[in-house]
A and B are shown apart, each in its own frame.
Chain A
Amino acid sequence: MLLGIAVLAGIYWIARSGGHWADSDSSFMASAIRAVVSEARLIPDEVVYPSGYGYQVISATVVAFTGIEVAALQQYVYPLLAAFVILSAWVAYRELLSSSRLATIAALLLLLVPGHLFSLLRGSHEPLDRILVFATLWLILRGIRVGWRPSNVAVYLGLALAMTYALVATNVLFGISFVGAVGAALVGSWVLQWGPPTVRPLSKEVVRHLSWFVAQSVLLIGAFILFIYPPAGFSLRQLFTVAGGAASAVVSEVPDASPYAGVLASWVSPEVYVLLSLGEYLLIGGSGLVWIWQGWRWLRGTTPLSLGSWLLWLMYAAFAAQLVVTVLSDRAGAVASNLQYRTFTVYAAIAAAVLAQGLAQLRAVQWRRATVRFAVALFAVAALLKATNEPILSNEWTFYTRAEFAGMEWTDRWQRSSISWVGPRTRLANAYALEAGRPQWFNRWAFGEPAPDVRAYLISDAIRLHSARLGVPVPAVGPHNLVYDSGAVQVYRTRAQGAFER
């Protein structure tokens, strides 16, 4: 059933826009993939993704095996990868929680959290990151569980290290975040070896088994940044910016970058945003309560159910701390003020398992089951609407039409060194980057308030509707030459001024 829901979510994501969707990250990753494919190098000249090469190489491999175009890969194939992420999550949760039922609840929760669902469906490295995180967790726990035989534990932990390297190579920040969380769990366990008697044995086991893994992972991260993929040094510097931003937000008065102002403006009303985000609030609040409840019980003498649940509890604290740090750094305006959305998705992956343990305690009597199913359906619909930026409710449209892309192709083909305005937001610039790459002939796309050096305006029905929704006027094109018309799209070229303008 879980896989079916995940597949349906992927199909809906594709079908809602007829496959014509694009967002800024997916577009940039498409450019990075094309650069690796065309230059056949890990670090191409044209576009380098500084955080890692994994996603580009995986995509280049798919292109090599299937001959599929990069845009089709991003728009049609990767959204369906969400189903495999959910399968991975379920297997890891089952190992962590020692229960299929709890694993099913936790994996279902992942589909009800819009921020996490969005990260799974779009064409970016995040689904790969998640698969590798879940696979690593599963391998670590399985390795510990079968740890009586040295050969077995070597294979499992060796595989876990290979997965960790793949994670680091796909996105070094996510890799550091994950290894940091496991490391924090290790440090926490080391301290709690002298803590309450209920957690001492488990803490000792964690220290015994995870020390080697964490040490090797740190070495891998160092080797990756220093020798294998030097551009990752840029991401490392960003990490220091985050830490500095968070510290300054705590110890001094910093100008508030207001990271939420833009978020609220992205929806037709704040109420809609809050309603669609209920899954996220439930996850954050619910998992936090369960975490406190579990800690309290263990302090009062109850022993944790298993090593997995103990490790989960420790890692939850680590990822929650990372989330808090990024919230603070976003307030200070570090790294585009949107890092908390990245850390939230990883936090959500752990929080879902924590919350599932709490939800499983609620005994569902017969009359409540229908209510639960109805609530799940509502959360699922809300998550899907928010994750897909449903244009009826969202102001950040991610769809585009075939006619709009054809108009942009024409504009790019027949102009030279021209700036063309393509809408009030980045929607069409993203679409072109995803489907075709950068504009040719030194042309550029412009959006938002038109600058004086804009030479062409692309106007479509969707642009008119989008401008009306945003409350911004469509540029006045009456004085310009109308040089392209496909019915749904028109291109206006400004009249040449002076002797040298063309």
Chain B
Amino acid sequence: MNWVGLNTLIKREVGRFFAVYRQTVLPGLITTALYIAIFGFTLEQRISEIQGIPYTMFILPGLIMMNTLTNATSNTASSMLQMKLLQQLPDLLTAPLSGLEIALAYIIGGAVRGMVNGILVLLLGVFLIGMPVNNLFGTLMFIFLVSWAFSSMGLLLGQLAESWDQLAMMQNFFLTPLSFLGGIFYSIKMLPNWAQTLSYINPIYYMINGIRYTVLGVSDSEVEISILMAIVLTIGFTLASILLMQSGKKIKN
């Protein structure tokens, strides 16, 4: 294992998104603050509590999850695509770094961004609306697993994509809809039966309800299933992204 190489690439990946924190860290915080302001001051008075939780607080764990997974995904996806398009990737591919080391460094970089964003939104909830955190360890664990899993997925997308357009399509047509339909803003018990059934095949539904359980103690899904799902996604995407990197598909001739 080239530990210095791995460590260098992790530093580069983390340094990269911190260098443009206005694009990578602040937007999630501002959006969440806006949600809190809009729902807290206006809509919450007209929407009844869900499962005994005030509406703004109910949606916050979902927002943590959405911020976590979109940031983790876009960090690896855009960094990898950028490296490809700007001719930086040969610097890595000609260095004594294995596919495993390159993949791990990218995944860790994306996971750090996911976690930073998730934890900052969590703190925003705690400080702005006094959100209680029932199980801090479980919450952090969920943020970590989801960051890692979606960072790995982002790496897959970044390596396979050939243009920014393709990446944006994945984000806009799959990730965002699946997040919104995963129950950020509602309990799926409020949905008709067919829509509830559809929600069960949406992996993000389990992530949102998992963290909602660890933060607020309420959840539509069994918490064990949520944890299992997070672990399965993490292992699955990690293995897939490492294998794809080792294969050199789309990055070597």
Q: Are A and B a genuine interacting pair, yes or no?
A: no
